[in-house]
Amino acid sequence: MDINSFFNVFSTTPADRAEAERRNWAEHRRRCASARDWDWKTRFTPEMNLTAVSWDAKPLFPGVPTTDCGNPAKSLDYLDSPCGQFRYTNAVLTPPHKLRVGWGLMRGTVVWDGPVTIPRLHQRDEVGRWGAGDFRNYECHPWMSITPSEIITQRSGVRHAKGHVVVGGLGLGWLLERVEERKKVECITLVEVNQGLVDWLLPVLRARMGDTPIKVIVGDVDEVVPKLTADVCLLDVYPYYGSNGQHRDKLDRESPNVKHFWAWGGHKER
Ligand SMILES: C[S@@+](CC[C@H](N)C(=O)[O-])C[C@H]1O[C@@H](n2cnc3c(N)ncnc32)[C@H](O)[C@@H]1O
């Protein structure tokens, strides 16, 4: 719950809340009247209205029951990695839920005309909280969730992929899978800092991929990438969207044998 919703609960009457709920549903119905099918090429718009039937985020573990609880610490349905550090959920979003979406400096929301499943990956920190970094909404923020926002903001990276591609950061492997599918890609080097995540997810991903060679280096991109030779390096090791261009440019300067760099949230989306 954000701070405004929190205070609204206490500062409004039941009638106000019922009116807010009615408006919410009215807006949802208005938006669903123009719902369109989602596909790889769907463009960002501040109001994205999608059909639920067209949304297929391809869960890594389809057998994990869906959960309507956004908090991985409280959800009853999940799958934990053997190393105990990672938790996977199939989160279900039900109408009239509005999901935030960003592209470059623009922001908007997505609604679907029915329930949809969003695969998510969370990481436990050393004191047992579920998050991927220094998040304000610490208990709930995933490393990766397969949403229109994640897809729209990563596909510019996919379009750069050719020859030998370095993928920095595994997450749920969405980017890795899209890179692997490209005909122009000859081989991939995956650089991921967490051995437990690689051991858990890579076999699952490999089983549904083609046969493009993938070399795995477990390590920190800052130390590994400057020593590599490659055509392109696609970086997504970031908990936050935006302002990752500085890190990309620093690695670019330090890596004389990597021809081109792209970073998620580096604000060069086209
Ligand atoms: C946001 S997720 C990547 C999501 C991925 N692009 C996808 O499509 O599913 C970030 C990943 O980077 C890894 N990571 C974080 N910092 C790293 C670093 N310095 N070097 C290598 N991997 C890192 C995390 O363990 C996590 O798997």
Ligand 1 atom at minimum distance from 221 CA:
20
What is the pLDDT, as a whole number, of residue 124?
A: 87
Strand 230-235 relative to strand 163-168, pairing: parallel
**233 in contact with ligand 1, CB cutoff 6 A:** no
The Cα angle at residue 42 between residues 265 and 114, in degrees rounded to 5? 105
Query: How high is the mean pLDDT of the chain?
Result: 90
Please name the residue whose Cα sits nearest to atom 14 of ligand 1: 237
Q: Is the pLDDT of residue 9 over 60?
A: no
Longest Cα pair distance anywhere in the chain, in angstroms?
64
Question: What was the pLDDT predicted at 270?
Answer: 47
Please report the sign of the dihedral spanned by the C-alpha atoms of residue 153, residue 77, residue 35, residue 28.
negative
The finding on whether 197 has its CB within 6 A of some atom of ligand 1 is yes
The answer to whether residue 1 scores a pLDDT higher than 70 is: no
Q: What is the pTM of this model?
A: 0.91
Query: What atom in ligand 1 is closest to the CA of residue 220?
Result: 20
When comparing pLDDT for 267 and 181, which is higher?
181
Between 49-53, 60-64, 70-74, 99-103, the lowest mean confidence (pLDDT) is in 70-74
151-263 CATH fold? Rossmann fold (3.40.50)
| Res 71: pLDDT | 84
Domains of the chain by residue range: 1-33, 35-146, 151-263
Q: CB-based contacts of 43: which residues, under 8 Å, 6+ apart? A: none
With a cut of 60, say whether residue 269 has pLDDT above it. no
Counting Cα atoms < 13 Å in the Cβ hemisphere of 263 gives 20
Q: Which helix (H) or strand (E) holds 227?
A: none
